[in-house]
Amino acid sequence: MNKIIDRYILKEIMVPFGIGMGIFTFIFLVSKLFRITEMVVEKGVPVGYAIQLFLCLIPAFLVFVTPMALLLGILTALTRLSADNEIIAMKTSGIGLYRMSPPVIALSLATFLFTFFLVFFAVPWGSQNFRETLFRVAGSTAKLDVDERIFNATFGDLVIYVNKVSPGERVLEGIMIYDERDPRTNNTIIARKGFLAPDPKEQKLVLHLFDGSIHSQEAKGETYRTINFNAYQFTISLKDEMEKERKRAKVKMLEKEMSIGDLREKIKRRREQGENVRPQLVELHFKFAIPFGALIFGLVGLPLGVQRTQSGRSWGFILCAVIFLFYYVFYCIGKDLGVSGVISPPLAAWFPNILLGGLGVYLLVKTARESPLHIISWFDKLIAFLKQRWKRFSREA
């Protein structure tokens, strides 16, 4: 009997949980999908690379999507059972709140382990591979994007200015290039016109320049040279430039994308240099605290889901949005307080979990004792009032 009830409750939760995973993932990724589609259609990026980029983005979003879907699944399933009087039938049969908890606990624990894996392994892997895939895309397309009358810093040590670009992006007019690739000499190249000759196989761009001059100055010294030319080939090795950018990306990687080891190395390095490490310490503790959000949502969702309300089945959707909004607000507040030094980094990271976890324990005990939750009834009346006002407004409109 008990196993049948456990399987039944778990089945009821899994359906909205799966739907929530799909919907929330789509919402988080929709802006990135437009960007990747633009790369395929307008920039000529191969579809295979575009799929790789899409897959690399998924782990970072799943860290937040999975606990959200869990909370939605628990609240939607239990409010449906409550609205159909199935919760009352279970209680009449001697099945209390604690006996209903095993499937919720099991799913919350599985979500916790999955989120733990995402934070510690999948997100750093996805972020690093996303950057490396972008660099491979640049090498495969071998195309330099240049905007008119803008200083284009496509590559870190090169700045290119073009007065006019032909519609086919082949002929350039009024060209100026500032080249710092050689640390000993800074070169400024000025040309009346030129055109691009990409070489994807060799992973290089050749810029053919006409009617111009090269101005060279040593970085240390007063030597200055000027060379005039009728024709000149300026070569950009995409392979070398991509390697430089790959190394830069490791340094500039966002702290939330770093692995635990990389973040600890950065903290150690900044401490040796006498720099402030509070932002890094807060981020480090958040990596441990975020996976526990799944357990907290399970703790809060169980007692709230079994409440019988006037809102019926819509109660689950409304509660899910409100709880996650509060959790995110507390997350931001804790982070700001920790970085500013008002509270310690560990407390800043665990602040949302402690606050919401305490609320969950209180709700669980009160509900198990069949004690009335006045705040739930007040909130339910507020929702009913808003629904009534909206219906009246719709009829009048």
pLDDT at position 385 over 80: no
pLDDT at position 138 over 70: no
Neighbouring CB atoms inside 10 A of 38's CB total 12
CA distance linking residue 263 with residue 266, whole number of Å: 5
Q: What single letter denotes the amino acid at residue 233?
A: Q
Lowest mean pLDDT among 59-63, 121-125, 290-294, 386-390: 386-390
- State the distance between the two ends of the chain, measured CA to CA, in whole angstroms: 53
95 CB-contact burial (10 Å; exposed 0-12 / middle 13-18 / buried 19+): middle
Q: Going by C-beta distance under 8 Å and a sequence separation of 6 or more, which residues neighbour residue 68? A: 20, 24, 320, 324
Q: Cα angle at 198 between 155 and 153, to 5 degrees?
A: 15
CA atoms within 13 A on the CB side of 42: 8
At 310 the pLDDT is 60
Joined tokens for residue 198: 């990409």
In order, the DSSP letters of 105-154 are: HHHHHHHHHHHHHIIIIIHHHHHHHHHHHHHHHHHHH------BTS-EEE
- Span 250-307, pLDDT tens digits: 435 567 666 777 788 889 988 988 888 999 999 889 888 988 989 999 999 998 888 7
Joined tokens for residue 40: 């395929």
Q: Which long-range contacts (CB under 8 A, 24 or more apart) does 250-258 make?
A: 250/128, 253/127, 253/128, 253/131, 254/127, 255/279, 255/280, 255/283, 256/123, 256/283, 256/286, 257/60, 257/123, 257/124, 257/127, 257/128, 258/124
So where are the chain's domains?
2-138+256-396, 152-240
At 71 the pLDDT is 92
Lowest mean pLDDT among 101-115, 175-189, 194-208: 194-208
Joined tokens for residue 227: 């060379």
- Residue pair 253/266 in contact (Cβ under 8 Å)? The answer is no
- Spatial CA neighbour of 160 closest among 172, 142, 168, 169: 172
CA distance linking residue 245 with residue 357, whole number of Å: 43
Lowest mean pLDDT among 8-22, 169-183, 281-295: 169-183
Lowest mean pLDDT among 94-98, 127-131, 167-171, 184-188: 167-171
At 81 the pLDDT is 86
- Span 326-353, pLDDT tens digits: 888 998 899 999 999 899 999 999 999 9
CA distance linking residue 366 with residue 118, whole number of Å: 34
At 228 the pLDDT is 93
At 249 the pLDDT is 42
Lowest mean pLDDT among 35-39, 106-110, 123-127, 290-294: 35-39
